[in-house]
Structure 1
């Protein structure tokens, strides 16, 4: 059972009931948010079957961790972060599986330049690569930067979700952008 056209208040209520152990509310919540979670995953993974795999992982994580939503921000904002992390995890797993064990295996084969290969939802393969690089030394910048620049969440929503002061979030996003710029330009 889904709540057609459910707004944030109805979704928050379903989440509260699910946190209280209401199994029907949890099932309804998952069915209601699935389209939103799939859209988040498609923003990272344009190939629908890959996005659906990531969405399924996100829904499992949401079901298992619904109790960790603190209720201060909207449930949909919290769900957005869980779905984004699931999509990034799926991307990493696929990237690792696609990496040849023997570099000579692809010697002489022209590969597409990820800096010029666009994908839907305004994201680019080079952005994901840049986030992977930044995350190694500066993991605190990645989540706020993706939530702002890819998914368009407001600074206030990000601050509530991450649990950091608004000024800190703005500084992290600014610094993250400075780190990402040279990585997005590639080697010129």
Structure 2
């Protein structure tokens, strides 16, 4: 029921209904923040990514054509926004002269094995994107956003078999990166 409500709000917002856009953004915010947290283990980083995602939705809703579900469209923006936030955080740390992102107080990045593995995964995805960019989106949409193969194929405009093949190749490459310790 909620998904259908969001689909309707998205269609109205895409058609220029400002009130529908405001309602949509307010309603999806908790879910966007939760999903950004899947990528970024530090709450402040997830919050930054969430704000960027909501801004992207607001800016680009006019381009939502309804070919795929709004939730699929949103998952792509969340994945890209979270990865972009991570890259920006790494760039800021490097500009400040840190080899790694600085840690002043204990946080999830250094105290949690799960958090550390998320950051390792983001690094591995960065390497994969540099080597074989076409493999990243299918893997992220399947393994992190948990979309089914058919939704991914529809969104990317490629056959379902190609989606499965790319996911298989991406997983193998990411596994190698993770095992090699990046």
The answer as to whether partners of 1:117 and 1:125 remain within 8 angstroms in 2 is: no
The answer as to whether partners of 2:40 and 2:118 remain within 8 angstroms in 1 is: no
Q: TM-score, normalised by structure 2?
A: 0.86
Find the counterpart in structure 2 of residue 73 from structure 1.
68
Q: Secondary structure at the match of 1:124?
A: helix
Find the counterpart in structure 2 of residue 117 from structure 1.
113
2:174 corresponds to 1:177? no
Find the counterpart in structure 1 of residue 152 from structure 2.
158
Find the counterpart in structure 1 of residue 106 from structure 2.
none
| Residues in 1 aligned to 2:10 and 2:21: alpha-carbon distance in whole angstroms | 7
| Residues in 1 aligned to 2:20 and 2:55: alpha-carbon distance in whole angstroms | 15
Q: 1:19 aligns with which of 5, 14, 19?
A: 14
Find the counterpart in structure 2 of residue 94 from structure 1.
89
| Residues in 2 aligned to 1:90 and 1:80: alpha-carbon distance in whole angstroms | 15
Structure 2 residues not aligned, in runs of 5+: 103-108
Return the offset for 1:102. 7.4
Cα deviation digits, residues 95-143 of structure 1 (max 9, x gap)? 111236376xx9xxxxxx98x93229xx622111110001002111111
Structure 1 residues not aligned, in runs of 5+: 1-5, 107-112
2:53 corresponds to 1:58? yes
| Residues in 2 aligned to 1:124 and 1:21: alpha-carbon distance in whole angstroms | 37
| Residues in 2 aligned to 1:158 and 1:10: alpha-carbon distance in whole angstroms | 22
| Residues in 2 aligned to 1:147 and 1:40: alpha-carbon distance in whole angstroms | 12
Find the counterpart in structure 2 of residue 110 from structure 1.
none
- Hey, which bits of structure 1, 4+ residues long, moved more than 3 A? 100-103
Instruction: Please identify the structure whose Cα radius of gyration is greater.
Output: 1
Find the counterpart in structure 1 of residue 123 from structure 2.
129
| Residues in 1 aligned to 2:25 and 2:98: alpha-carbon distance in whole angstroms | 42
| Residues in 2 aligned to 1:168 and 1:129: alpha-carbon distance in whole angstroms | 24
* Backbone CA RMSD of aligned residues: 2.4
- Tell me which protein shows more helix as a share of its residues: 2
Q: TM-score, normalised by structure 1?
A: 0.83
The answer as to whether partners of 2:68 and 2:154 remain within 8 angstroms in 1 is: yes
Number of positions where the alignment pairs a residue of Structure 1 with one of Structure 2: 172
